[in-house]
Amino acid sequence: MSGRTFRCPNHPDRLAVGICNDCGESLCGECLHVYTLNIEGVRVILYLCPTCLRKRHAEKANTAIYLGIFFLLFGIFSALILVSLGILIIIMGIGLIIYGGSKRTETPKKPTINDLRVEKEKREAELSTTEKIDTEEIYNKLLTQYTDRWGVQTGIELLRSEITAYTAHGVSFPEAVKKVYQRQEKKTS
């Protein structure tokens, strides 16, 4: 290693925390956006600078515009054969062009690395308030509340589905139980 430190070109007072996957620029956590792709059922995470993020967003919008132009031209040709079908296709083409044009001017909303860090710190702070309480104790307390309110079968199913909703998003079972407990505490206070 050269011992060289990289600074963000947009914020020279900040150290770079990562590299843009498209252009290779070193950027700070405020400038590096998290971009998720689904390729053949596999989730891929890229880190992009604002310029590359806008470029990818514009490419998607261009696809809609090109498709709209195709529909427009095909609609004109179709109108020569069947007027009503041709007009319908022309309207779809115009709609796609308008949609693509509006998407090109739209600023993409993707979280930055700093946004994710703040969210993680917030989640950890929330969890630390219930850290001292035993997960099994919380679960039993919740189970009692749910079965008292909705009956045994329904209460168990409702609690299980709420916990599953959290675990489906990558939260561990103990954290999910604590989150459900925190939400119930907020409702009662």
DSSP assignments along 21-69, one per residue: TTT--EE-TTT-EEEEEEETTEEEEEEE-HHHHHHHHHHHHHHHHHHHH
pLDDT in tens, 96-144: 899 888 888 777 788 888 888 888 787 777 666 655 667 888 888 888 9
Which two structure tokens, joined as six digits, stand for 180?
A: 């459900």
Residues 115, 123 contacting (CB under 8 angstroms) = no
**pLDDT confidence tier of residue 160, bands split at 50, 70 and 90:** very high
Q: Can you read off the two tokens belonging to residue 68? A: 């709209």
Would you place residue 175 in the very low, low, confident or very high pLDDT band (cuts 50, 70, 90)? confident
**Global confidence as pTM:** 0.55
- Write out the two tokens for 138: 């919380």
Amino acid (1-letter code) at residue 34: V
Model confidence at 36: pLDDT above 60: yes
> What is the spatial distance between Cα 144 and Cα 142, in angstroms, rounded to a whole number?
5
Among the listed residues 140, 57, 141, the one whose alpha carbon sits nearest the alpha carbon of residue 101: 57
Separation CA 117–CA 17 (nearest Å): 12
* Closest listed residue to residue 179, CA positions, set 113, 133, 114: 133
Name the pLDDT band for 1 (thresholds 50, 70, 90).
very low
Least confident of 38-52, 76-90, 110-124, 137-151: 110-124
Please give the pLDDT value at position 69.
92
